[in-house]
Amino acid sequence: MPQPNPPPRRVPLFRNNRNQAIRIPVEIELPGQDALIHREGNRLIIEPVREAGLLALLAGWAPLDEPFPDMDETLLPPPPVAL
């Protein structure tokens, strides 16, 4: 199981075809299948891609400005029920 904050570890850089690559040690591996990478100065930042859940999807939607129609107006009255 990965440790929360293991100490820095030196890893070799190598070539994989035209790409520079590193092997991520098991104690600092990322969850999932994809990652985001970006540069901040001389640092490379690698972050796991977080899958957005239903709540994140709904939070991104704009609220509806129109009222919902009253559906009860268009319904026929219910038939009598014998008890």
Whole-number pLDDT of residue 2: 55
SS (H, E, C) 3-54: CCCCCCCCCCCEEECCEEECCCCHHHCCCCCCEEEEEECCEEEEEECCCCCH
pLDDT digit string (tens) for 3-42? 578 888 899 999 999 999 999 998 889 988 899 999 999 9
The pLDDT of residue 1: 52
pLDDT of res. 81: 93
- Classify each residue of 13-34 as buried b or exposed e, where b means 16 or more C-beta atoms within 10 Å of its C-beta: eeeeeeeeeeeeeeeeeeeeee
Give the tens place of pLDDT for each residue, 32-72.
889 999 999 999 999 998 877 888 888 889 988 888 878 88
- Single-letter residue type at 70: D
